[in-house]
Structure 1
Amino acid sequence: MMKLLRLRTGILILLMLCVLPFTGCAVMKDKPAAEDLSLVMAGMDGSDGVSFEGAAALLVGGKAVPESSIYYGGKVADHNKISLYSLLPDGGHPASAAESGPHPLGQGPGEAPVYYTRLVKEDGTWTMKQGSPALAGSNPLEALNPLRQLEDLERLDKKVTEEAGSARGTRVLRIELTAEAARSQLSAELEREMQAIRPVAGSGAVTAAGTHAEALEAKTALWEQKQSELQQRLDQADIRTIYYLKVDPKRNLPARLTWNRTLTYLGKAGTTTEETYITQVDFYGYQ
C-alpha cells in the first residue's frame, strides 16, 4: 500500500512538473508583464527624486525634421516637482543656460535656443510655475515631462508584454495603447497646446481700443480655423502609440523610457502622410 501511495505521489509530482512550464509560459505573455509595470510604477512613486536626460524628434515620411529635435535634462524632487532644461546634442548646456536657475531665452550665432521650465503637480494636475519668459505658452519642455508620460502608462488602456531578445540581466516591457486610448491621449495634448496659444484680450502691443479689438478678433478667427483643421486631421488619422520601458531589475525602477507615436493621414494633395514622434529618456541617480 505504501509503495502504491508513493508511486501515485511520484506520478502527480511528475505531472505537475510537466504542466507548470506550459502554464507558466501562458501567464508570462500577459499578466506578469502587467504586474511588473505596476511594481515599477510603485517603485517610482516611492523614490524621493531622480535625474534624467532625453531627446525628442519628429519624422515626416521617415525623414527627421531638424528644427523639431530637442535635447533636454532635468530633475524630479519631492515626488511632485520637476525642473527641465534644454541641452546640446552632446549633453552639454547651451552657452547661456544655467542649471541652478531659470534660463533666459538666448540664441547667439551657432547656439541652440535655451528652454527652461519648472512644473509642480497640484490636485492631480501638472502646472507650469516658471519658464522661459519669451516663450509664453509655447515651451516645448512641458510636453516632455517624464512623470506625466509614466502616469499615462498607468491610467490608459493598453496591452503589456515583455519584449523578446532583451539583454541578459535586463527586462524591457512593451506597452501599446489601444486605438481609443492613443487618440484620447493625443486629443488631450493638442487641446492643452491650443489653449496655451489662444489669443486673449490685453496681449500684444498697446494700441487704440478699436484697433486692438479688431486685431484680437482676427487672431481669434485664425486660431479657431487652425483648431478646426487640427481636429479634422485628428479625426481622420490612424494613431499608433507604443512605449518601451527598460527596467532596472535590481531595484525595479525605470531605467529608460522610449515613446513612439505614429500618425497616418491624408494630406492636402490626397497623398498619405506619415508622422512619427519619438522621445527617449534615461533615468539615473535615484534618491
Structure 2
Amino acid sequence: MMKLISYRTGILSLVLLICLIPASGCGVMNDKPAAESLSLVLAGMDGSDGVSFEGEAALLIGGKTVPESSLYYGGKVADHNKVSLYSLLPDGSQPDTAAESAPHHLEQGSGNVPVYYTRLVKEDGEWKAQQAAPALQESNPLEALNPLRQLEELEGLQKTVTEEAGSARGTRVLRIELTPEEARSQLSAELEQEMQAIRPDDQGAAGTAAGKPAKEQEARAALWEQKQAELQQRLKQASIRTVYYLKVDPKRNLPARLTWNRTATYPGKTGEVTEETYITRVDFYGYQ
C-alpha cells in the first residue's frame, strides 16, 4: 500500500495516513504601509547572497500534535537560487546518516528517525531538485519547506498585511493573512500536487516490472480514486484560515523568522467538528 504522511497540508491527513497505508492591509510600520514594508523585506531577501536557517513543522489535530508529523530541519541558501535542506533531531543535531552523499534521499537514522536531505535550484522561475529523486515509498517533505519559496509566494498571494500589535521593543512583526479564497486555493493546489505524486497509475510501469499482479494495480488505482474523491469532498466542506507572521531584522530589513499557521475546520463523519492546524517556523541567521 502507498504511504503518505503530509507535513504541509493537514486537511484529511489522518484519512490519507490510515487509508493509504494497508488585497493588502492598512497597517503602518516605520511610517510605511505594512504591505510596502513586506515588499521591501522580500526584495532585501532577494538581494542576499546567502543565509542559513533552522525550522520545525508539525500538524495538530484537536490541539494535540500528531507525533509522526513533527519535523526539525535546517539548511542554507547560496548564490540566490540554490537551497540545501536536511532534517535535524529535536535538539538541533544532525542524525548519523549518509544522506549528505545524495541530493535527495531518505533513510532511517538513529532511533528510527527518518533522515531527509535535498538540494534545490531555481530554474525558469521554478524550484526543482537538482537530480531526480530515487524511487521511495515516502515523499520527501523538505521540498515543501523551502523557505525561499515560501517567502517568494507571499508577494503574489491575495492577502491583508498589517503590523502585529504588541511587538517587543526593537522588533518588527508583519501579520499576513490570506483571503479565504486564496487560503482554499493554496491548500487545494498543494493537496493536488501531493495526490498526483502518489497516484498508482504513474507507477504502473514500475509495478509491472516488479512483477505486481494487474489486479493489485487495479486495486491500488481504485483506492486512490476513492480517497481523491473523499479529499475533494472534505475540502469543499472545510473552512480554511492561513496566517503568516514575519519577524523582521530592523537593522538590515531582512527576514529573521517566518511562522506559518494554517487551520482547517470541517465536519467529521459523526457530525463533530474537526480542527487541524499545520504550523511551521523557520529562523534565518548568518546573512551574507
Using the size of structure 2 for normalisation, the TM-score is 0.83
Aligned-residue offset at 1:143: 1.2
The structure whose residues are more often helix, as a share, is 1
Matches of 1:243 and 1:97 in 2, distance apart? Answer: 34
Partner residue, 1:203: 206
- Percent of aligned pairs with the same residue? 77
Aligned-residue offset at 1:140: 1.0
Aligned-residue offset at 1:28: 2.0
Q: How many residues align?
A: 260
Partner residue, 2:8: none
Query: Superposition RMSD on alpha carbons, in Å?
Result: 2.2
**Greater relative CO, 1 or 2 (CA 8 Å, sep 6+):** 2
Structure 2: tracts of 5 or more residues without a match: 1-25
Matches within 5 A, 1:43-122: 43-96=44-97, 99=100, 102=103, 105-107=106-108, 110-122=111-123
Matches of 1:156 and 1:132 in 2, distance apart? Answer: 29
Where 1:167 maps in the other structure, the secondary structure is coil
Partner residue, 1:155: 156
Aligned-residue offset at 1:96: 1.5
Matches of 1:100 and 1:165 in 2, distance apart? Answer: 46
Is 1:277 aligned to residue 278 of structure 2? yes
- Larger mean CA deviation between 101-110 and 229-238 belongs to 101-110
Aligned-residue offset at 1:224: 1.4
Aligned AA for 1:206?
A
The answer to whether the 8 A contact 2:59-2:279 is kept is yes
Where 2:51 maps in the other structure, the secondary structure is strand
Aligned AA for 1:202?
A
Using the size of structure 1 for normalisation, the TM-score is 0.84
Change in CA separation of 1:98 and 1:137 when aligned onto 2, cut-off 3 Å: closer
CA deviation digits over 1:120-157, x for unaligned, max 9? 22222222234773635611111111112112211110
Change in CA separation of 1:97 and 1:277 when aligned onto 2, cut-off 3 Å: farther
Aligned-residue offset at 1:212: 3.9
CA deviation digits over 1:174-207, x for unaligned, max 9? 0000000100110111111111111222223635
Change in CA separation of 1:54 and 1:132 when aligned onto 2, cut-off 3 Å: farther
The answer to whether the 8 A contact 2:238-2:265 is kept is yes
Matches of 2:65 and 2:283 in 1, distance apart? Answer: 21
Partner residue, 1:28: 28
The answer to whether the 8 A contact 2:84-2:119 is kept is yes
Partner residue, 2:247: 246
Where 1:243 maps in the other structure, the secondary structure is strand
Aligned-residue offset at 1:99: 4.8
Matches of 2:166 and 2:110 in 1, distance apart? Answer: 45
Is 1:42 aligned to residue 47 of structure 2? no
Aligned-residue offset at 1:102: 4.1
Aligned-residue offset at 1:105: 3.4
Aligned AA for 2:237?
Q
Matches of 1:109 and 1:137 in 2, distance apart? Answer: 18
Aligned-residue offset at 1:169: 1.2
Change in CA separation of 1:230 and 1:51 when aligned onto 2, cut-off 3 Å: same
Change in CA separation of 1:27 and 1:92 when aligned onto 2, cut-off 3 Å: closer
Matches of 1:167 and 1:272 in 2, distance apart? Answer: 36
Where 1:133 maps in the other structure, the secondary structure is coil
The answer to whether the 8 A contact 1:248-1:255 is kept is yes
- Larger mean CA deviation between 120-129 and 57-66 belongs to 120-129
- Larger mean CA deviation between 52-61 and 100-109 belongs to 100-109
Aligned AA for 1:254?
P
Matches of 1:226 and 1:83 in 2, distance apart? Answer: 33
Matches of 1:31 and 1:183 in 2, distance apart? Answer: 30
CA deviation digits over 1:10-63, x for unaligned, max 9? xxxxxxxxxxxxxxxx76289611111000010011111111100000000001
CA deviation digits over 1:221-270, x for unaligned, max 9? 21111111111111110000000000001111000000000000011121
Aligned-residue offset at 1:112: 1.5
Aligned AA for 1:253?
L
